[in-house]
Amino acid sequence: MSKFNGINRALSSLFFTDTRTLDYFDDEYGGVIVNPERLPSNPHVFASLLQSSLSQWKNKGKEGVWLRLPSEYSELLPVAVKSL
């Protein structure tokens, strides 16, 4: 592996670390609030993003997660309950 390829990989991970998370913002208590308007409708995509998000948030030391599921996303509820 060349030095250039190593730099590209480092830059890639630097810029794309949060691409596999649910859309969220930090709350004032050290947790996160998931944006209910930007949830994926597919339960499999949601499950994958939720697991990735939880892992990243835990690594960042987040204290809690607020997740509101509008009624049109009710099929995501079992996934959220199982994951949380």
- What is the band of 9 on the pLDDT scale with cuts at 50, 70, 90? very low
User: Would you report the helix, strand and coil content of the chain in percent, each value rounded to 5?
Assistant: 55, 10, 35
We report the CATH number of the domain holding residue 70 as 3.40.630.30
Question: Looking at the domain assignment, is residue 50 inside a domain?
Answer: yes
- How many domains would you assign to the chain? 1
Q: Tally Cβ neighbours within 10 Å of residue 59.
A: 9
Task: Please report whether residue 59 resides in a domain.
Answer: yes
4 within a domain of the structure (yes/no): no
How far is the C-alpha of 57 from the C-alpha of 74, rounded, in Å? 24
| pLDDT given for residue 84 in this prediction | 86
Do the domain assignments include residue 2? no
Tell me the pLDDT tens digit for each residue of 15-35: 444 468 999 999 999 999 999
74 assigned to some structural domain: yes
Asked if the structure places residue 11 within a domain, the reply is: no
Q: Is residue 1 part of a domain?
A: no
